[in-house]
Amino acid sequence: MNFYAIKAIYTFEMARWWRTVTQSIISPVVSTSLYFVVFGAAIGSRIESVEGVSYAAFIVPGLIMLSLLQQSLSNASFAIYFPKFAGTVYEILSAPISHVETVISFVGAAATKSIILALIILVTANLFVEIHIQHPVWMVVFLVLTAVTFSLIGFIIGIWADGFEKLQLIPLLIVTPLAFLGGTFYSISMLPETWQTVALFNPVVYLVSGFRWSFYGVADVDIAISLGMTLVFMAVALAIITWIFKTGYKLRS
């Protein structure tokens, strides 16, 4: 293992983030607060509670998940796309580092950033509504697994994209809709029966459900299935990355 290289890329990425830390942190904090005002306060005042949890508290795990997905994707995709775009990727390609090390450093940094943000959102949310976490260890497990999985997916998008449009395309057209439809702001059980079945094809449902369970002990799907599916997504992302590196797709000419 080239630990010096992993450390170099990881600290480089974190330093890049740190330089723009105010905008990296303020914007998610502001948007989360807005969600709270709109969904928590305005709508929440009309919905008493969902499965025994006040609506404002109910949406907290979903909101955190939503940011976690978006931030992981954009952090990781940008981190690898930008050196490609600027040409500085030559350095990484000519360095004595393996693909595994490259992924560990970029994905590790992206996941770290989005986890920090998730925690900041959690703290912000706590200002609006009191939150108790029933299974803190599981909460951290879901947080980390999801951050890593979506950072991996972001990494794939960053390698695949050959323009800024493509970089935005998948997050905008696929991931954000799936996140909104994935029970971020509601319980799947609130949907008509056929839609409940359809929802089960949405990967985000499993992530949100598992994460929410770690907070309140209530879930749309069984916690074991949630965990299993989360691991499956991670495995799929890893398989795609392995394939990309095996074929040298789009990185080395």
Place of tokens 């029966």: 193
Residues 167, 169, 175, 177, CA torsion sign:
positive
CB of 96 to other proteins, least distance (A): 4
Nearer residue to other proteins within complex by CB, 180 or 245 = 245
Nearer residue to other proteins within complex by CB, 20 or 194 = 20
CB of 154 to other proteins, least distance (A): 20
Q: Which of 53, 41, 59 is nearest to 185 (CA)?
A: 59
CB of 111 to other proteins, least distance (A): 20
Nearest-angstrom CA–CA distance, 145 and 106: 15
**Residue ranges in contact with other proteins by CB under 8 A:** 2, 4-5, 7-9, 12, 15-16, 19, 86-88, 90-98, 248, 252-253
Q: How many CB atoms sit inside 10 A of residue 188's CB?
A: 21
CB of 72 to other proteins, least distance (A): 23
CA atoms within 13 Å, Cβ hemisphere of 212: 32
Nearer residue to other proteins within complex by CB, 59 or 161 = 161
Phi, psi of 183 (to 5 degrees): 85, 25
Nearer residue to other proteins within complex by CB, 46 or 252 = 252
Nearer residue to other proteins within complex by CB, 8 or 223 = 8
**47 close to 55: Cβ distance less than 8 angstroms:** yes
CB of 102 to other proteins, least distance (A): 10
